[in-house]
Amino acid sequence: MVIAERHKYILDKLDQAGYVSVAALSKEMNVTMVTVRKDLKILEDKGLLFRSHGSATPVAPYVNDKPVYEKQLVQVEQKRAIARKAAELLKEKDAIIIGSGTTVLAFARALPKDLPLTVLTGALNVSMTLLDYPQVEIVQLGGVVRKSSSSVVGHFAASMIKDFACSKLFISVDGIDSEFGLTTSNMMEAHLNHIMIGSVQKTIVLADSSKFGKKSFGKIANIEDIDTIIVDQALPQHYVQVLEDKGVEVLIV
């Protein structure tokens, strides 16, 4: 392939998969990895992609903190579909943890009102939603209120979690990177989510496809540390394969 053909091939692959690796491109185009890296550098300089360690994505992978009222306006229907699927995984008298974020808030709203549950949560908006659910016992974590996410974080919340044993954790994230793992924009919230994962039998991540290929400041866990991801149909097959190779169940809605 000449350089123009390679560049078109790379951009087409990015459009289809949302991700390309240097090693795979080298093999597919029958050129050296040095050549691929040069091609990616040229395309990045033109603003057509973003490079990272051994790979490239079509958009900037780094995510900044946004308030909850902005996040709840994005991917609304996808979040509702994910939430409905997550609600199907519940059993009568489950004791669960619900994290913070707009997708898990949609999950709280999707819970059957007649299903007896115990819900442990640090999210104030989740607790307020569940006040209208007569069969749900709410255990509200205490701590420092992080207003942008309408949730509590910090030492007190983390210590309180350790006193409970729950069957399932439902969390949402700001980014899922194939190598770096699950992240969120606040390091205290990332730490709290990490503690939550260690306190349950099964961790279920609710994330729309826009979160994949993204990184945020605080690392929550490796992909291998979770059990299930529920995601919408726009997720490229590449990510489905990566998740399944790491032992994660992928539920697509």
pLDDT of residue 60: 65
pLDDT of residue 59: 66
pLDDT of residue 219: 95
Instruction: Please provide the DSSP assignment of 37-87 as one string.
Output: HHHHHHHHHTTS-EEETTEEESS--B-----HHHHTTSSHHHHHHHHHHHH
pLDDT of residue 114: 93
pLDDT of residue 72: 56
pLDDT of residue 73: 52
pLDDT of residue 49: 81
pLDDT of residue 71: 56
Q: Which residue has the tokens 């709840």?
A: 72
What 8-state DSSP symbol labels residue 31? -
pLDDT of residue 90: 96
pLDDT of residue 74: 63
> Domains plus CATH for the chain?
3-57 (1.10.10.10), 68-252 (3.40.50.1360)
Mean pLDDT by 10 residues, the chain (253 residues): 90 81 91 91 85 76 60 75 96 96 94 96 95 95 88 92 94 91 92 95 95 89 97 91 94 97
